[in-house]
Amino acid sequence: MMVAMETASPATTLPAIQVAGPAVTPAPAAPAAGPTGVVFDVKRGSAEDGPGIRTTVFLKGCPLRCVWCHNPEGLDPGPVLSLTPGRCVHCGACAEACPEGAISLAAGGVPTTDRDRCVACGRCVDACPTGARELRGAAWSSAALVAEVARDRPFFDASGGGVTFSGGEPLAQPAFLLDCLRACRDRGLHTAVDTSGYAPRAVALAVAAAAGLVLFDLKHPDPARHARFTGVPLRVIADNLRALDAAGASLWLRVPVIPGVNDDADARDGFVALLGTLRRRYPVWLLPYHETAAAKYARLGRAYGFQPSAARLAEAVSALSAALRAAGHDVRIGGEARA
Ligand code: SF4
Ligand code: SF4
C-alpha cells in the first residue's frame, strides 16, 4: 500500500522523498483531522532538543544516510518491524497470524522473518504475547498529535520548554510538519525543528517561519567528505543555512562530533570558515557521539559497521570547541549526536 506523498513547492531540485511503504497502522487515539504523517516516537522530558523541557516528536523518513545514524528506525518513510529475539518464547503465534507467509518456524518454534515479504501490517505484533515484535512508525493526524503533546503544557510552562519535531528528517513531511507547527502556535506552544537542512529551499524557509526555533545540524564542512559520510551534497544544506540566516530565522547550530569523521584540523578550519559566511552569530552546540545504536540496527535487521574511536572523543570536542570559540562563537556542549 502506498501512503500519500506530501508535496511542496521546491525552489531547489532534490531527489524525491518517497513516502512509499507498507501499510500504516493508525495510532490508537488518532482521529481523522488535518494532514496525516508518520511518526515513530514521542519522547517526553527531553532537555537536549531546545530550551527548557521538551516533548520531541520523531517523524519518519530521511534522505540522508549518515554512517553513525542513531535513529535507523527513522530512515524509511513507512513503518518497520523491530524484533527482539530475547523476548521470544517460541509460541508460534506470529507465524500463524502473518497473512504474507513471511514467518517460518524452525525447530523448537524459533521464528525467522523474511523481511522481503513483510509488508509491516502489524498482525504478528498484535498476536505476539511478549512484545518481541514491534512496529516502529504509525500514522497520526496533526490534530491528534498536537493534542497529545499539548498534555505536557505544565512542564513547558514551568521550564520555558515546548515541542521539538525531529526524525528522521522532519522536513521530509512538509505539509504535516507545517500543520503541526501552526496548530502548536495556535495553542501557544513553543516549537523547535531539528533538521539536517537537506530540503527544498521553499520548505526550509516556510518551516523556519512557522517554528519558534530551528536546530540546524552541520555534519561536515567539506563537500566530498560530507557526501561520503551522509550520502547527500553539502551545497544544498549550506545554501539553505545561508538563506535562513538572511531571512532572520531563529537558529541554533548543532555539530555532531564524530571521531574519524569530522575531528581533524581540516574539518575544524572548515567549520570555522562555513560559519564565517553567515551574517549573524548563533549558539553552536557540539553533540558528542554516543555508541548506542548497534542494538537498534540488529532489531531492524540492518548492518551497523561504524566503529569510531571513543578514546578520541573528548579531545575532538575540546579541539573543535577551542577553534570555534577562538573565532568568536558561543559554543555549548551537550546532547547526543543522533544523525
Ligand atoms: S508485520 Fe508481521 S504479520 Fe505483517 S507481514 Fe510483516 S511479518 Fe507478517
Ligand atoms: S509470537 Fe512472539 S513470542 Fe511467539 S514465537 Fe512469535 S515472536 Fe516469539
Q: State the pLDDT confidence band at 336, using cuts at 50, 70 and 90.
A: low
Tally of residues, the chain: 339
Distance 319 CA to ligand 1 centre (A): 48
Q: State the pLDDT confidence band at 4, using cuts at 50, 70 and 90.
A: very low
Give the per-residue pLDDT at 52: 97
Q: State the pLDDT confidence band at 145, using cuts at 50, 70 and 90.
A: very high
CA-CA distance, 289 to 236, in Å (whole number)? 24
- Domain 80-136, CATH among 3.30.70.20, 3.60.20.10, 3.40.50.720, 4.10.93.10: 3.30.70.20
What DSSP string describes 260-276?
Answer: TTS-SHHHHHHHHHHHT
| CB-based contacts of 191, cutoff 8 Å, min separation 6 | 162, 163, 164, 165, 181, 184, 185, 210, 211, 212, 213
Distance 89 CA to ligand 2 centre (A): 6
- Ligand 1, atom 8: nearest CA belongs to which residue? 98
- What atom in ligand 1 is closest to the CA of residue 121? 4
Residue 266, C-alpha cell as written in the block? 581540516
The ligand 2 site (C-beta within 6 Å) comprises 88-94, 109, 111, 127-128, 130, 132-133
Kindly report which listed range (24-28, 38-42, 124-128, 254-258) carries the lowest average pLDDT score: 24-28
Tell me if 285 sits within 8 A of 335, measured CB to CB.
Answer: yes
Is the pLDDT at 279 greater than 70? The verdict is yes
Query: In the CATH scheme, what architecture does the domain 36-77+138-333 have?
Result: Alpha-Beta Barrel (3.20)
Q: CB of 132 closer than 6 A to ligand 1?
A: no
Is the pLDDT at 73 greater than 80? The verdict is yes
Give the per-residue pLDDT at 32: 52
Give the per-residue pLDDT at 22: 35
| CB-based contacts of 164, cutoff 8 Å, min separation 6 | 46, 49, 50, 54, 55, 56, 57, 191, 192, 193, 194, 215
Average pLDDT over residues 77-92: 97
The percentage of the chain sitting over the pLDDT mark of 70, rounded to a whole number, equals 88
- Ligand 2, atom 3: nearest CA belongs to which residue? 88
Q: What ligand is nearest to the CA atom of residue 89? A: 2
Domain borders along the chain are 36-77+138-333, 80-136
Q: CB of 121 closer than 6 A to ligand 1?
A: yes
Give the per-residue pLDDT at 307: 79
Q: What is the pLDDT of residues 233-246, one digit of tens each?
A: 999 999 999 999 99
Q: CB of 80 closer than 6 A to ligand 1?
A: no
Kindly report which listed range (13-22, 161-170, 228-237, 271-280) carries the lowest average pLDDT score: 13-22
Q: What is the pLDDT of residues 298-333, one digit of tens each?
A: 999 998 878 777 788 999 999 999 999 999 999 999
**Mean of per-residue pLDDT scores for the chain:** 90
Q: Which residue from 175, 270, 188 is spatially nearest to 224, judged by alpha carbons?
A: 270
Q: What is the pLDDT of residues 147-195, one digit of tens each?
A: 999 999 999 999 999 999 999 999 999 999 999 999 999 999 999 999 9
- Ligand 1, atom 3: nearest CA belongs to which residue? 98
- What atom in ligand 1 is closest to the CA of residue 81? 1
Q: CB of 126 closer than 6 A to ligand 1?
A: no
Phi and psi for 39 in degrees, rounded to 5?
-125, 140
Average pLDDT over residues 90-116: 97
Distance 119 CA to ligand 1 centre (A): 6
**Amino acid code (one letter) for 133:** R
- Between helices 201-210 and 234-247, what is the axis angle to 10°? 40
Distance 125 CA to ligand 2 centre (A): 9
Residue whose C-alpha cell reads 545504536 in the numeric block: 293
The 8-class DSSP code of residue 283 comes to: -
CA-CA distance, 300 to 151, in Å (whole number)? 31
Distance 63 CA to ligand 1 centre (A): 25
Tell me if 339 sits within 8 A of 62, measured CB to CB.
Answer: yes
